[in-house]
Amino acid sequence: MPQASPNDGGNWGIMGGAFDPIHNGHLILAESAFEANSLDGVLFIPSYNPPHRSLKPIADFEDRVKMIELAIGGNSRYCLSRLEENIGGPGYTLAIIKHLKNNYSNTNWFLILGADNIAIFDSWYKPEEIIKQVKIIVGGRPGYNKEYEKSIWRNKIERFDMIQTDVSSTTIRQLIKDNNSIEGLLPDSIGKFIQDKGLYK
């Protein structure tokens, strides 16, 4: 099957984040969004210059790009974009969305979020403008359904169900630092890459 591309138009999801590292929770969220919203593809955009200091990635950009390539390789539904590397300035979600809309005018964009993001959506740069620009779709995640229900944005976003998973990049990094197993939390190819590169020690 040929690789899908937003150049072809249709409905595309946006998966942004540090992916430090990408893990099974990210992949389940992407697949659930794809299935629940009849998307034509999902674009993975690793952060390059996050606007918040607390979000600064630990692994460098090239290593995080490689891990995404390993995670989505062979899946014709998924594409990797290095957009944030070239966009200039802080990597605000709004700037990324506007760039995508300007460059792919025939594509309908859906911003894919985990329910945990809704709890902090108010702190994002111009959240009300983001909602005007794209359709926001939110997948469930353990412990955060109440945050979704309380959100002032609840009537302006759509929620979809996903297999419940309680894995995070933070947890994985801590497990590695403590010399504990990360088996089953991310694809084996990424685990080997992390081990070979000595990441997160």
Average pLDDT over every residue of 53-76:
90
Share of the chain above pLDDT 70, in %: 92
CB atoms within 10 A of CB 77: 16
Q: pLDDT value at position 144? A: 54
200 or 114, which is more confident: 200
pLDDT number for residue 125: 93
Domains in the chain: boundaries: 6-197
Q: For the segment 113-157, what is each residue's pLDDT rounded down to a tens digit? A: 987 787 788 889 999 999 999 999 998 765 556 666 666 777 888
Distance CA 116, CA 128 (A): 18
DSSP for the chain, please give it.
Answer: -PPP-GGG-EEEEEEEE--TT--HHHHHHHHHHHHHTT-SEEEEEE-SS-SSGGG--SS-HHHHHHHHHHHHTT-TTEEE--HHHHH-SS--HHHHHHHHHHH-TTEEEEEEEEHHHHTTGGGSSSHHHHHHHSEEEEE--TT-HHHHHH-TTGGGSEEE--------HHHHHHHHHTT---BTTB-HHHHHHHHHHTTT-
Q: Which CATH architecture describes the domain 6-197?
A: 3-Layer(aba) Sandwich (3.40)
| Whole-prediction pTM | 0.92
Kindly indicate the confidence band of residue 100, based on its pLDDT and cuts at 50, 70 and 90: very high
